Structure 1
Amino acid sequence: MPKNKLQKFERVRHLPNVTLAEEETTPSPQAFPWHHPRYAGMQRILELGCGKGEHSLAFAAASPQKLCVGVDYKSHRMCVGAEKALAQGLSNVFFLRTHVERIREFFQPHSIDEIWLTFPDPLWKNRKSMQRLTAAPFLDDYANLLVPGGSVHLKTDCQRFFGFSCDSVKRWGGRVTAISENVYDGGPDAPDTAGAVSAYERAALSRGAAIRYLAFTLG
């Protein structure tokens, strides 16, 4: 393993804005910092598969009245975002290391206003359709977490995954509220991401890929 990655694994363990969930624990959601009374009344944004947390950081900086939580299993990646948040003095953003399959263990029901899926693995080659983050089991989880009228936002460069997601939402009974085949075309449904562009997105753009966007509710 590269030395730099090992150093990040060690550093992230001591960052005050990072929670490293243990595999064997079944925590109470109230135990986590984002449920502290000081954050009562704040809108909450959850970014799943956050990587280095570019979107979480941008949302937190643009909207101090909102609380952002980035979730990923790669702690060396979120170390980058967590350290940037501390350097920028952002007290309204946290990071959680866990599998998305466990997400309901860490948040109270109907406590999230927005869920962002930023370039999730389409898992297309492996044909693991039920493990895709827009498959029905995950939509069940999102419906449990979202406040009434809360929304899910997907960004992806994979056309087939985008089509799968649109179909999955409709089969579940969700309502599509915005859809764009290319967010950089400037159409009316382009998302407001507070200027966030992740490293993955930049790489996709350099390949000439279209960035697709889907927003939906699960009420």
Structure 2
Amino acid sequence: MGKNKLARFAENKILPNVIQPTREDALKGSPLKGTWRKEFFKNDNPIVLELGCGKGEYSVGLAKTFPKKNFIGIDIKGARFWFGAKEAVENGMNNVAFLRTQIELVDHFFAENEVDEIWITFPDPQIKYRRTKHRLTHPDFLERYKRFLKPGGIVHLKTDSEFLHGYTLGYLQGAGHEIISAHHDIYGAPEYDPGTEHLRDIKTYYEELFSAKGKTITYIKFRIH
């Protein structure tokens, strides 16, 4: 393991916006479950999660764009989201945090109706059939999200994978979930939802790479019923 990675792990332990429970602690139930607004953010603003937040640039970008919302980036790789956590602290941002855990444990950290929105940004599409259940828009994951999303809560999927985009659209339509909007090319589509400029303005590290290679970036906004 490189020295830089070790240094990031060490700094994560003292950054005030990083939460790093053990798997055992997560399974017992986080003490923040149901109390994020009161105990951590100290406000009553909406809570938005980014699942698989990578370097944290999307969580930070959203937090800058929407200062009246609370954002939590979630990823198991703390050495990556250190970048976002560090930037947030250096800029005095109190509306963004980072939680180091596996996505399949996410429902252990949030109570019923506690979360207003979920962003899923450039996840591994898990194309192989045997990996189907690992897709973050698989029915099992959607059921997890439903446990803590408030009624009418929104889920956003932003991906360069045409496969995952198509798979998710097909499942949502077949299962009777509500598709609010869907774009097959957010940079090329002539139609654009007012108030969603951040879809183009905020880019993850991977989005920059994919766009540079000419890959199409897709987007789905939906509700789970």
> What code does the residue aligned with 2:145 have?
Y
SS of residue matched to 2:83 = helix
- Aligned residue number for residue 201 of structure 1: 207
Paired residues, number: 219
Structure 1, residues 140-163: CA drift from partner, whole Å, max 9, x if none?
011122111111000110111111
Q: State the 1:182 CA deviation.
A: 0.6
1:72-98 deviations in Å (ceiling 9; x for gaps)? 000001111100000111001110000
Answer yes or no: is the 8 Å Cα contact 1:30–1:108 preserved in 2. no
Q: 1:72 pairs with 68, 72, 75, which one?
A: 75
**AA matched with 1:92:** N
Are the equivalent residues in 2 in contact too, given 1:48–1:72 (CA < 8 A)? yes
- 5+ residue gaps, structure 1, are none
TM-score by length of 2: 0.90
Tell which deviates more after alignment, 171-180 or 37-46: 37-46
SS at match of 1:114: strand
Which amino acid is the alignment partner of residue 193 of structure 1?
A: H
Q: CA deviation at 1:57?
A: 0.6
Match of 1:182 in 2: 185
- Which residue, 9, 17, 29 being the options, matches 1:27? 29
- The aligned counterpart of 1:93 is 96
Structure 2 unmatched ranges of 5 or more: none
TM-score (normalised: structure 1): 0.93
Q: Distance in 1 between matches of 2:22 and 2:198?
A: 31
| Cα deviations by residue, 1:88-133 (Å, 9 ceiling, x for unpaired) | 1100111000001000111111111110000001111464101100
**1:104·1:141 contact (CA, 8 Å) conserved in 2?**
yes
The reply to whether residue 119 of structure 1 matches residue 122 of structure 2 is: yes
C-alpha deviation, 1:60, in angstroms: 1.1
Q: Distance in 2 between matches of 1:32 and 1:134?
A: 24
* Structure 1 range deviating more: 120-129 or 70-79: 120-129
